Chain A
Amino acid sequence: MRGRSAARKVTRRQFVKGTAAVGALAALSDKLLGGAAPALVERASAARQAGGEDTFVPHFCYLCNAGPDPLRVRVRDGVAIKVEGNPNLRREHPADGAICSKPYGYIQQIYNPYRVKGPMKRTNPGKGDGVDAGWQEISWDEALDIVAGKLAEVRDKGPINEQGLPRIATTTGADGVPGYYNGTWSAFWNAWGPTDGTLGCGGGTKCYHSEHIYGERWHRGFTCIGDLPLSRYQIIFGQNSNATGGVVGFRRYADARERGMKIVVLDPNQTVTGATADEWIPILPKTDAAVLFAMMNVVLHEIGKVDEPFLKERTNSPYLVGADGYFVREAESGKPLIWDPVAGKARPYDAEGIRDYALQGTYAVQGAEARPAFQLLKEHMANFTPEWASPISEVPAETIRRLAQEFVENANIRGTIEIDGKVLPHRPVSIKLGKSINNGFGGYQSVWAAHVLSLLVGGLEVPGGHLGTCTLFGGPVRPGYDGFPTSSVMGDHPTDAENWQWPPNTRDGIRTLCPISAYMGPSHLSWKHMVDPPENWPQAAPPDIWFTYKTNPVVAQSDKALVIEGIKAIPFFVAFAYTVDETSQFADLILPESTGLESYQLCAMGGRKFMENFWDHIGYHLRQPVVSPPFNTRDISDIFTELADRLGMLEAYNTAINMGWLRDPKTREPGPFVLDPTGKYSVEEIVDHHCLTVTNGEHGLEWFKENGAFLVPWSRLNWYLHDDMVEMGLRYELPYQEHIKKIGEELAERLHEKGITWWDHQAEEFQALPEWHDFPAVYDTGSDYDLWLICHRTSQFAWANNADIPWMVELGKQVLDIGKASINPQAARQRGIRDGDEIWIESPVGKIKAVAQLREGVHPKVVSTAEHFGHYIMPVAKETGWPNMNFIMPITHARTDETGSESDHVKVKVYRA
């Protein structure tokens, strides 16, 4: 700054002309704004920040259910500029600190110019698809007052309406993802009272539903995986594991393949998983159970090699079954009986001194004939030969036979392995099922058969074998009825005349229709029951208020028109929304919560959870703001604290937090760091208490902000239920489903008493030994519709709510199976379709346009698209034009199975556009 003023002489000619006139504009400021305060102010700290070194903020990714995985965010000048793996947690993380593609798009979520930047309320009461809502940005105070006022009105009326349905409905999407982002959402609603969480957004269709219901029931197999680090052989039916297994799954599959593990994939579509497997076998949709049944037939009737000790001691195979299909029970104790061939008599299954159990034969017990469940299983499977299954599935009989042989040969029956000083069975084989196998009719049969095959070789819950993922989720194993473990997650709804739920008390009717589905029922049917109920079923009144979070049912749920009709009938709709999308466009009020990179939550990490993410460490990781949120958003926990305060329910809300996050991890009782129930806490304070709770007072929020995670070693013995089962003398409730049979019979009676016959087919599915039915016929809509339309997940988009992130879309365009409709060249030729042609895919309920992609890796009777798309409102995503099969799938009771699940399948005709 040396004498430069002399060099730039500003003259009157240059500067004055007009300046005074323009300057007069400034007077407007005084008249309109009253001397508005500036937006930018001088701060010493700002100057210090300038040009400083980059900082790294530890964080985690839970954009899909395969997480959480640690990461860190590079911040420069207060702006997040890069997401990368966290090298500081390389030792603990099973994938050496790597991250997958999703988190790379995470940063654009912060700076997305089309995100909702402050609370907005609708000014146009007329709701319609694409109709301008007349959004008006309002203050948080105004928004929260509106919500609290509406909730108070409902509270005054009572939380349950005249039909017995909760007046408040809540919907969260993306399966388990919201729990890692929605802060005190659950605490608030727990404090509030009854809510209806059954307005569907694709759950039950897009999940692993049968595993969730049956797998969890049998062995905490809410989802099931193979123990890849110790596995030699895996058969995958229709699961795109190499797209959805997360970064740990990808690493484990890569390591296993390198080690020589064989992977066989049966799938109508050769996804990335099929493409990287040893063998891809095309199969017709909804025929998986036939192949699995035939494999069982080969094992039981041709190979004849099974793990007898396992079947006798860890399953209900020896339980005696009477002619009525029920277990024969001891009169006094009611315990099921087994046949002890050494003693030559029937004894309760857990009697002292049993030296052997009969698995086969017929025995005279209590004056009647009884047979062990295994005997019935063997007889039941006798007709399901490979030759029977082959024309159904189009999988050659010799291939089915070979798969069964390979499965048994690799099972290492009677082999053992030492884990952390303990000798356990080692059965390095498993069968995995994908979502569409697990959903809709045929799901029960498939998931049962996959489990029983594992059972036959002793491969359930042992090293190398077929593992359930949710021990931690469901709490420790506890004894239940008849010597089986029970799940605290799942439980049966009563079907006896006295306790059966009538009228339905949720809009989907889960407690009335789906007795074994606990809280995971036919949520798609809520829309049907509100708009167009079936015979003798009460039309459900819409909720007074609907709250949504991380969900977009208009796109994610089938039958868009029905869903929209249902949404429009809801008097007041509050959307926690990141963008205005196909669903939030109908909201009366939009509340933008801070995104994952802008808000706080402490979440469990490591251990075992949902996917192949089994760790040798366990603990917690902090999610924290990596930068100051750039827009007028709020941490969702702070939003709920404000609502609780306005509603005068802080005490109940804080108590709910104390009973949740702030429970002592060991005792499960409220711990020493609980909140004062009468206080009002910021999210930082709440999370600080949570940090202290999980570390027994060792580390608070500040420590976690610096270090990210608190992880301690975790023995691999925890990966397997086997040890607990042995110690408690428990058995898997397999293969025989006596309890389910009883439930089905009672359910049919109850429904018939109400004149309901449209659920007969579902009630009949509850069989002790499931039967094969013609499952493909469920989807038959006439000969015109001659191709199956199916869909698959992708690693870039599954569960992530990220189709509006430009970087992800750009990436998606580079991926073979995203955005197009894959069709076999032979099928394409028959229809005059060439690669790149625009085509119509039409079902009886509508049609969608797509670009054809000719691939040999698709079954000739199938068209396949990726899910997650079809947006027509959501910014960025709408530009892709990528198809969405949901738009041409109906919501019907006939497509819904006994657990309340429907499947992503529809028969279509395809032709050039």
Chain B
Amino acid sequence: MKTVEPEGCESEPLDSAQRASLAVSRSRVYGFLAAVYNRSPDHQFAEGVSSADLGSFLASLAEREGLPQDVREGVRLIERFSRASKGKPVDEVRTELTVERTRLLRGVRPDHGPPPPYESLYRGSEGQAETRVSAAVAREYAQAGVALADGMREQPDYVGLELDFMRHLTEKEAEAWAKNEPDEAETYLDLEQAFLREHIVRWIPRFCDVVIEQADLDFYRGMAQVTKGFIEDELQKMKAMSD
């Protein structure tokens, strides 16, 4: 499926193709964000980050109209990192990124980076036992018929998995629209909305704030800001739909 920019009058309902296109678009963003949190930067990643090509892409992306403010600022930070990395040995960039990722996302120890990105940890103050939150998220995955890919090991409530679950739901929504099965698509939209409200927005923006504050590298600070902006944008749209 290809991203298609919807056309037409502002008050006119979107048709299935347009809605499929929107879902694809959202799915790809969720997938990208999930992958950044799930994967340790490899050589290709480090090479890509420091490439001139990426720098100019990010520069133009940051200027696009309609970009939420947090997303725009996040993109600018990533661009700044990209520019600063240009010309550095790729292995050096990779080491910088992986050390930073380890500190920010892997919970090496308290006072050494943010609390690691698990919903159970960020919602601990709500009196939820870790296992209960994990079990609840795992149940959502199971009910949706998804499980961890081979070789993937993570706790269900990890930021990258929750975002990937949204990737899955939006992907399924897009497929339903593409097959012209609006009821099924709406069902997925319901699931997206519920998961967003019940899980994602209840902790990921908070996590992003901590990363923004504690990151040493602009790359992860930028990614956190993009993530936060995107989720807030999603939430606003969901609210708008409910209204």
Contacts and interface: CB of A to CB of B under 8 A. Distances in A.
A904 to B, nearest CB: 28
Given A8-B186, A629-B153, A76 B120 contact: no
B5 interface: yes
Interface in B87-123: 95, 98-99, 101-103, 106-110, 112, 115-116, 118, 120-121
Nearest to A115: B107
B154 A13 contact: no
Contacts of A31: 48, 51, 53-54, 57
A579 B109 contact: yes
B201 interface: no
Interface in B147-169: 147-149, 152-156, 160-161, 164-165, 167-168
Contact of A107 (B95, B107, B131, B167): B131
Interface string A872-891: 01110011000000000000
A1 B183 contact: yes
B8 interface: yes
B156 A32 contact: no
Given A12-B11, A15-B14, 20 more contacts: A1-B186, A8-B186, A11-B10, A13-B10, A15-B6, A16-B6, A19-B237, A20-B3, A22-B68, A22-B71, A25-B71, A31-B53, A31-B57, A32-B54, A36-B31, A45-B147, A51-B139, A79-B138, A628-B153, A631-B153
Q: Is the interface of B mostly helix, strand, loop or mixed?
A: helix
A678 interface: no
Interface residues of B, number: 98
Contact of B107 (A27, A40, A114, A632): A114
Contacts of A633: 153
A29 B64 contact: no
17 contacts: A12-B9, A12-B10, A12-B11, A13-B11, A19-B25, A21-B64, A21-B66, A21-B71, A27-B57, A31-B57, A40-B168, A41-B148, A47-B145, A79-B134, A113-B118, A138-B98, A873-B109
Interface stretch (A129-137, A741-749, A784-792): A129-137
Given A28-B32, A118-B106, A113 B116 contact: yes
Interface string B56-70: 011001001111100
A39 B131 contact: no
A8 B48 CA distance: 41
Interface string B181-197: 01111110100000000
A90 to B, nearest CB: 26
B131 A136 contact: no
Among B135, B189, B230, the one with the most A-chain Cβ atoms within 10 Å of its Cβ is B135
Contacts of A21: 61, 64-67, 71
Contacts, number: 274
Contacts of B71: 21-22, 25
A777 interface: no
A880 B142 CA distance: 38
B27 to A, nearest CB: 8
Nearest to A40: B146
Among A38, A46, A78, the one with the most B-chain Cβ atoms within 10 Å of its Cβ is A38
Contact of B149 (A14, A39, A114): A39
A101 interface: no
Contacts of B240: 14-15
Contacts of B116: 113-114
B28 A123 contact: no
Contacts of B34: 38-39
B200 interface: no
A891 to B, nearest CB: 27
Contacts of B19: 10
Given A11-B13, A40-B161, A629-B153, A78 B138 contact: yes
A40 B148 contact: yes
B139 A23 contact: no
B13 A630 contact: no
Contact of A79 (B38, B156, B164, B185): B156
Contacts of B132: 81
A223 B92 CA distance: 55
A639 B143 CA distance: 34
A895 to B, nearest CB: 33
B45 interface: yes
A412 B71 CA distance: 85
B130 interface: yes
A17 interface: yes
Given A14-B240, A21-B64, A77 B103 contact: no
B13 A114 contact: no
Given A18-B233, A50-B142, A111-B120, A26 B28 contact: yes
Nearest to A82: B131
A49 B64 contact: no
A594 B165 CA distance: 26
B147 A43 contact: yes
B145 A580 contact: no
Given A14-B237, A23-B26, A47-B145, A33 B32 contact: yes
A120 interface: yes
A40 B38 CA distance: 11
A355 interface: no
Contacts of B211: none
A24 interface: yes
B35 interface: yes
Nearest to A49: B142
For the complex of A and B, list the 3 residue pairs with the smallest distance between their C-beta atoms, beginning with the closest: A26-B28, A23-B25, A5-B182
Interface string A65-81: 00000000000111111
A679 interface: no
A2 interface: yes
B139 A878 contact: no
Contacts of B51: 31
A50 B31 contact: no
A44 interface: yes
B5 A20 contact: yes
A659 to B, nearest CB: 33
Nearest to A34: B44
Contacts of A113: 107, 115-116, 118, 120-121, 130, 155
Given A47-B142, A114-B110, A137-B102, A12 B130 contact: no
Given A1-B183, A47-B142, A630 B11 contact: no
Contacts of A115: 107
Given A39-B161, A39-B164, A111 B106 contact: no
B142 A23 contact: no
B11 A580 contact: no
Given A21-B64, A39-B152, A135-B108, A50 B32 contact: no
Among B134, B149, B167, the one with the most A-chain Cβ atoms within 10 Å of its Cβ is B134
Nearest to A874: B109
A25 B226 contact: yes
A26 B30 CA distance: 8
Contacts of A81: 131-132, 135
B208 interface: no
Contacts of B160: 39
B147 A41 contact: yes
B49 interface: yes
Given A77-B135, A629-B153, A25 B141 contact: no
Nearest to A807: B129
A103 to B, nearest CB: 14
Given A111-B130, A136-B102, A19 B26 contact: yes
Contacts of A422: none
B40 interface: yes
A734 to B, nearest CB: 51
A367 interface: no
Among A27, A45, A79, A120, the one with the most B-chain Cβ atoms within 10 Å of its Cβ is A79
Contacts of A879: 110
Among B9, B155, B185, the one with the most A-chain Cβ atoms within 10 Å of its Cβ is B155
Contacts of A873: 109
Nearest to B139: A77
